[in-house]
Amino acid sequence: MPTGYQILDQEGLYYLTIKVVNSIDIFTRKRYRDIIIQSLKYCQKYKALEIYAYIVMSNHLHMVVRSSTGNLSDTIGAFKSYTSKAILHAIETSEERRKTWILPLFEHAATLHKRNTNYQLWTHENRAIVLLSNKFITQKINYIHKNPVKAGIVEKPEDYIYSSARNYAGFEGLIDVNVATFKWITKN
């Protein structure tokens, strides 16, 4: 069922939120966060995904992105499909202690939607908001970068390595991003 947050302008710049079903904190494990990072890099290189800001939190991702080929929905769909399979495979084949309760939750989520087979990692909906002004872009990038500070994970946004805040502060990040026109740095 459409939520009103659809990607209508395939060439537009979007603020996206992608959530794990049942708000399961899957990304508390580095190996799963790294799957996300590697997949985003792949999408940059082979699917023309332009990333302006991103963050991987415990159970969701925020991004400011666009597609230089005008195919953002397909790119995000491929990203979600691949990462879902890779993360579920990693859970099934690893010594993940939480798999006895996580996999049944993903399995139950799959039964609620006819287009799933065994498991569902991501919610079907993406919160997609088109960004039309510099003020709105700046607001969303700042929101993304302040997420781990508000969650009490780090003191300064640029200290959280699974975020583009490092890029905006002039440090090396895990992903090369298209830095917007303002610089991010926390003043002491």
User: Do 71 and 77 meet the contact criterion of CB atoms below 8 Å apart?
Assistant: no
Q: What was the pLDDT predicted at 113?
A: 75
Q: What was the pLDDT predicted at 185?
A: 43
Query: pTM (2 decimals)?
Result: 0.90
Query: pLDDT, tens digit, for every residue of 4-43?
Result: 567 888 888 999 999 999 999 999 999 999 999 999 999 9
What is the 3-class SS of the chain, one letter each residue? CCCCCCCCCCCCCEEEEEEEHHHCCHHHCHHHHHHHHHHHHHHHHHCCEEEEEEEECCCEEEEEEEECCCCHHHHHHHHHHHHHHHHHHHHHHCCCCCHHHHHHHHHHHHHCCCCCCCCCCEEEEEEEEECCCHHHHHHHHHHHHHHHHHCCCCCCHHHCCCECHHHHCCCCCCCCCCCCCCCCCCCC
Q: What was the pLDDT predicted at 111?
A: 85
Q: What was the pLDDT predicted at 5?
A: 63
Query: pLDDT, tens digit, for every residue of 56-105?
Result: 999 999 999 999 998 999 999 999 999 999 999 999 998 889 989 999 89
Query: pLDDT, tens digit, for every residue of 100-132?
Result: 999 989 888 888 877 667 888 999 888 899 998
Confidence of residue 157 (pLDDT cuts 50, 70, 90): very high
Confidence of residue 187 (pLDDT cuts 50, 70, 90): very low
Query: From CA 169, how far away is CA 158, in angstroms rounded?
Result: 6
